[in-house]
A and B are shown apart, each in its own frame.
Chain A
């Protein structure tokens, strides 16, 4: 594996005490409120959180596109600007058009020429599955095709760190799967990848590690399995008048319980066990509904706030 800068275990990615606020007509918005992250080379990390959690702001500061109010970022022992100048970084940002008057192949070649040790243009075209589009004008692409081109642009410099801000947001299910298959081939080369997403399934399926963000802070950080157990993958809703939340919380497979009027909501790490135990303990529970937990609910559970009152983060 060739790298653009000498990487070693001690010099991964370090983010310390990152803070960023914006001034808006509605008053100050505290987008990132003290974030510390440490990532080893070769890790694939998902930055997971609902819209407004501060993921994009964190990524912009990680890439040196936005100066932090406080805190520091080090990429392989270098400042973001120096790491980028060394060709160590590739990225796919949330807002990103591609320039016109070039073919797909020409645009990829143009970007490759800016890096000291790029991958082969043909190799990248093949890897991202755009061989058929190589001669097409960059303005004549569908949303999914443009996304693959942007992915090719991010990869072609052969960066040590690849940063993807919600890379699959515009894609349908099949295109999303294709995207991650390609991604896997790239991470197999031993690259460090950080991607932001608000899909729990995506983070779970493709990251070694998940960092959960809400309201500009990290609320959980660990291996995907651990995070899943923490947030509970499914919820059980039922009607059960007079239920005792403490009793419900003690049921096997339940991570948290909430009473809403006559209804109950159980967040479950194992919904099968929880449902059996619930029916055994309270046979009169009715209107039972089991479903995948929405990320929003998971965050409410983790952050313990009601989702109202807090400032709206952009």
Chain B
């Protein structure tokens, strides 16, 4: 009984899904070069002479787009459960010794592996455009980003068990875009207005901030507030995912 073989084929399936691959891996990389390359000498991104931000544009976009790609990767892996439920494959799997927990683990694992591929590709792209960081910063950033993905992985699983194939696709597209937009993937969210305060309550804001750990623009942006928001979202979304999972697997 090797979960390894099962996981290997699941990964193979994910890699062969060109549409998903383009959306989660290729698209963020292309967007990165489109947005960052023209600004590759901008070391005061989003600021002016009076208000210097100290942000290096290629680094800023690297962080934003890896956050977006990684978020879509874990969300869509969970949402793919919906497709398999729609065709009745989950019922077929329930006749095999694969446990429902094992099934879920594999989906999360493939989602995270895809997220890591996106992250690594964007690191490489960033380095190509001149991003330089101390080695420790790369590690801190990666660890925080992977943690900040937890709420999205959980939301993906919940969608997978609550929605059908089509509506999961739509929810994924809209949800990912909104979270990315309000999280500061495309433009810096700075200041202290009501809008900014709202954005700071979103897990995607902190996913982007996780990537800003290495930006070196003054103080470390990830503080107690980040941990608090991330923990709250993680607890709520994981509970929600477990509820959706239980509800789905205990009915016909």
User: CB within 8 Å of B: which residues of A?
Assistant: 60, 63-67, 84-87, 89-91, 93, 95-102, 106-107, 109-111, 113-116, 150, 153-154, 157, 163
6 shortest A-B CB distances, which residue pairs? A97-B87, A113-B5, A101-B13, A101-B16, A95-B88, A110-B9
Verify A84–B1 contact, CB threshold 8 A. no
List 10 extra interface pairs beyond A65-B91, A93-B91, CB under 8 A: A66-B251, A84-B96, A96-B87, A96-B88, A97-B87, A102-B13, A106-B9, A109-B5, A110-B5, A115-B96
Q: A95-B88, A96-B92 are in contact. Are A60 and B13 (CB under 8 A)?
A: no
Contact pick for A100, options B5, B13, B99, CB 8 Å: B13
Distance to closest chain A CB from B125 (angstroms): 27
Verify A90–B97 contact, CB threshold 8 A. no
Verify A93–B88 contact, CB threshold 8 A. yes
Which residues between 84 and 131 of chain B lie within 8 Å of chain A, taking CB atoms?
84, 87-89, 91-92, 94-99
Verify A67–B250 contact, CB threshold 8 A. yes
Distance to closest chain A CB from B15 (angstroms): 8
Q: Is B252 an interface residue (CB 8 A)?
A: yes
Q: Is B192 an interface residue (CB 8 A)?
A: no
Distance, CA A150 to CA B17, complexed state (A): 22
Residues of A within 8 A of B97 (CB): 84-87, 114-116, 157
Distance, CA A85 to CA B17, complexed state (A): 30
Residues of B within 8 A of A63 (CB): 94-95
Name B91's closest neighbour in chain A (CB-CB): A93
Q: A91-B95, A110-B6, A116-B1 are in contact. Are A96 and B12 (CB under 8 A)?
A: no
Verify A111–B13 contact, CB threshold 8 A. no
Name A61's closest neighbour in chain B (CB-CB): B252
A-B contact pairs, 28 of them (CB 8 A): A60-B252, A66-B251, A66-B252, A84-B95, A84-B96, A85-B99, A87-B97, A89-B95, A90-B95, A93-B91, A95-B91, A96-B87, A96-B89, A96-B92, A97-B89, A98-B89, A101-B14, A101-B17, A102-B9, A102-B12, A106-B9, A109-B5, A109-B9, A113-B1, A114-B6, A114-B96, A157-B96, A163-B95
Name A106's closest neighbour in chain B (CB-CB): B9
How many B residues, CB 8 Å from partner? 25
Residues of A within 8 A of B96 (CB): 84, 87, 111, 114-115, 157
Distance to closest chain A CB from B251 (angstroms): 8
Name B94's closest neighbour in chain A (CB-CB): A65
Distance, CA A223 to CA B60, complexed state (A): 76
Distance, CA A90 to CA B252, complexed state (A): 18
Distance to closest chain A CB from B86 (angstroms): 8
Distance to closest chain B CB from A117 (angstroms): 10
Name B92's closest neighbour in chain A (CB-CB): A96
Q: A65-B94, A114-B98, A115-B96 are in contact. Are A97 and B88 (CB under 8 A)?
A: yes
Q: A114-B97, A115-B97 are in contact. Are A99 and B252 (CB under 8 A)?
A: no
Distance to closest chain A CB from B18 (angstroms): 9
Distance to closest chain A CB from B113 (angstroms): 15
Verify A99–B6 contact, CB threshold 8 A. no
Distance to closest chain A CB from B189 (angstroms): 38
Most buried by A among B13, B97, B252: B97
Verify A99–B87 contact, CB threshold 8 A. yes
Name A99's closest neighbour in chain B (CB-CB): B89
Residues of A within 8 A of B91 (CB): 65, 93, 95-96
Residues of B within 8 A of A109 (CB): 5, 9
Distance, CA A131 to CA B17, complexed state (A): 25
Distance, CA A231 to CA B222, complexed state (A): 77
Distance to closest chain B CB from A113 (angstroms): 4
User: What is the 8 Å Cβ interface bit string for chain B, positions 32-73, against chain A (1 contact, 0 not)?
Assistant: 000000000000000000000000000000000000000000
Distance, CA A115 to CA B1, complexed state (A): 5
Contact pick for B13, options A99, A114, A154, A163, CB 8 Å: A99
User: What is the 8 Å Cβ interface bit string for chain B, positions 209-223, against chain A (1 contact, 0 not)?
Assistant: 000000000000000
Which residues between 13 and 33 of chain B lie within 8 Å of chain A, taking CB atoms?
13-14, 16-17
Distance, CA A169 to CA B37, complexed state (A): 59
Distance to closest chain A CB from B3 (angstroms): 8
Name B99's closest neighbour in chain A (CB-CB): A85
Distance, CA A31 to CA B1, complexed state (A): 36
Name A20's closest neighbour in chain B (CB-CB): B252
Residues of B within 8 A of A97 (CB): 87-89
Contact pick for A93, options B13, B14, B92, CB 8 Å: B92
Contact pick for A113, options B2, B12, B88, B99, CB 8 Å: B2
Contact pick for B94, options A84, A95, A111, CB 8 Å: A84
Distance to closest chain A CB from B8 (angstroms): 9
Residues of B within 8 A of A163 (CB): 95
Distance, CA A244 to CA B10, complexed state (A): 69
Residues of B within 8 A of A86 (CB): 97
Most buried by A among B2, B6, B9: B9
